[in-house]
Amino acid sequence: MRKIIGLFIFIISYQASKAQQFAFELWHEGKAVLESGDTLRGLIKYEQSQDMKQDIIQVKVKSQMMSYSPRKVLFFEIFDTTAKRYRQFYSLPYSENNTYKSPVFFELLVEGKLTVLCRERLEYRTVNNSINYFYGSSRQLMLVMAYFLLKPDGTISDFEGRKNNWLRLMDAREREVKGFAKDNKLDFENKYELARIIEYYNSLIK
């Protein structure tokens, strides 16, 4: 009986995960500012490619739909109903190997003394939980964040966004930042809670 119940829960969980929709799969109210200077307002759907070479946005204005690469877009903003907040994306020059730079869409997470950008990607990760008690671990497709630092000279460097790495970056303010995160129960692994932590750090820097 326990195995039957476990199997039933596993199937329900699997179906729910398959039904999950990510923000990049949806249309969002927003606006896009083009390289030409034109501003388009309507529904926007974005795609950040895994290889960072085929980013694109689609814009619906009334009955017309248009597609643009980062070369044609300066900036776009959406209201993400899944996160219940506005999100801003910029087309910025970037090179993975410090050679030729090409425009790529980055989301602006925090701006200030420490300016942090991010991009989404999908990864299969091993998950262990009670649902899989009888079947061991399972691999699930999950949305994960890749973080980048925007330096004052405009260069962008990738950053391994683990808690200890963030704290080392904050150097002399580490103790204050750790206390703020603990007091407010903020998780460095949560994108928007991380943004609050970094905003607090920036407020300490004069």
Instruction: Give the C-alpha separation, 200 to 203, whole Å.
Output: 5
Instruction: Give the C-alpha separation, 173 to 200, whole Å.
Output: 10
Which pLDDT tens digit goes with each residue over 35-61?
A: 999 999 999 999 998 888 899 999 999
Confidence check: pLDDT of 11 > 60? no
Confidence check: pLDDT of 17 > 50? no
Which pLDDT tens digit goes with each residue over 190-202?
A: 999 999 999 999 9
The CB-side HSE value for 169 (13 A sphere, CA atoms) comes to: 18
CB 81 within 8 A of CB 173: no
104 forms bridges with which residues in the sheet? 92
**Measuring CA to CA, which residue among 77, 63, 65 is closest to residue 107?**
77
> Is residue 22 within a helix (H) or strand (E), and if so which, with residue range?
none
Confidence check: pLDDT of 14 > 60? no
**Encoding tokens for residue 169?**
């970056």
Q: Binning pLDDT at 50, 70 and 90, where does residue 140 land?
A: confident
Q: Binning pLDDT at 50, 70 and 90, where does residue 10 land?
A: very low
Sheet holding 102-110, edge to edge: 64-68, 56-61, 39-47, 28-34, 73-80, 85-94, 102-110, 115-127, 138-150, 156-159
pTM for the model: 0.84
